[in-house]
Amino acid sequence: MSLWEYANPRKFIATTDVVLPWFWAGTIACLVVGLIWGFFFTPDDFRQGSTVKIIYLHVPSALMAINAWLMMLVASLIWLIRRHHVSALAAKAAAPVGIAMTLIALLTGAIWGAPIWGKPWAWDPRLTSFLWLFLFYIGYIVLWQALDDMDTAADMTSILCLVGSVFALLSRYAFLFWNSGLHQEASLSLDKETNIADVFYYPLLLCIAGFVLLFITLVLVRTRMEIRARRMKALIARERMV
């Protein structure tokens, strides 16, 4: 069985009919357990106090904001190279979920920054590139809405996605290029010395799993919706021709 079989809209809908309930169940389980664990059953940090609890929302949402755009980039490249409509529609479907994740990351970052940095916002390379990513999400969604022809819209938004990927990568790696700014390095690391303490790490992993599953679930639901909307548009166009 090839991955490209899922480029067939019927096959995609039939398969997602089966897997979607499992994704919903996994999303709810991981998010509820992870957030309750993080909020109620983890200690305060010796420097940040109880604001450390914001990590369970900020890190997973920021991670997904960047990875959602990278998923859109892969889907856009598949569209540009192989012209599979489902991949273009999957990229379109991911954008509203990605912008929600970006908004959560920006707002929770500002709420955390106000008491810890003394200000909610700084024109730091990482924060600024994250704001640019947010603006690219808005531009991407608006461009899809502005163009009537689906193929033209998919072409134009795919090019916008390629350009926006620079900011998606910068928001992740900006601190490596500019050794300045307020934002600290990544909270998670494979190096035990620099990784956060286990007491925060395990609930955080569960929250990350919850956000990843939430993203996949919503993208699957939205892609099915976009496939149906495309078919509806085609049927209405055929009716008008008769």
Partner 1 sequence: MMPDLGRYATEVISAYVVSIVIILAIVALTLWQARKTKARLEEVEKRSVRRG
Segment interacting with partner 1 (CB under 8 A) among 127-135, 153-161, 193-201, 214-222: 214-222
Does residue 172 belong to the site contacting partner 1 (CB under 8 A)? no
Determine the 3-state secondary structure of 58 from DSSP: helix
Instruction: List the Cα angle 34/50/185 in 5-degree steps.
Output: 75
- Residue 45 backbone dihedrals phi, psi, to 5 degrees: -85, 150
Segment interacting with partner 1 (CB under 8 A) among 52-60, 126-134, 154-162, 164-172: 52-60
Does residue 61 belong to the site contacting partner 1 (CB under 8 A)? yes
Query: 69: exposed, middle or buried (C-beta count within 10 Å: 0-12, 13-18, 19+)?
Result: buried
| Angle of helix 125-146 versus helix 85-116 axis, rounded to 10 | 140
How far from chain centre, in Å, is Cα 184? 21
Looking at the Cβ atoms of 147 and 221, the one nearer to partner 1 is 221
Looking at the Cβ atoms of 101 and 170, the one nearer to partner 1 is 101
Among 19, 25, 81, 114, binds partner 1 (CB under 8 A): 114
Among 103, 182, 205, 212, binds partner 1 (CB under 8 A): 103
User: Contact, 195 vs 145, CB < 8 A?
Assistant: no
List residues near partner 1 by CB under 8 A. 31, 35, 39-40, 44, 49-51, 53-54, 57-58, 61, 96-97, 100, 103-104, 107-108, 111-112, 114-115, 214, 218, 221-222, 224-225, 228-229, 231-232, 235-236, 238-239, 242
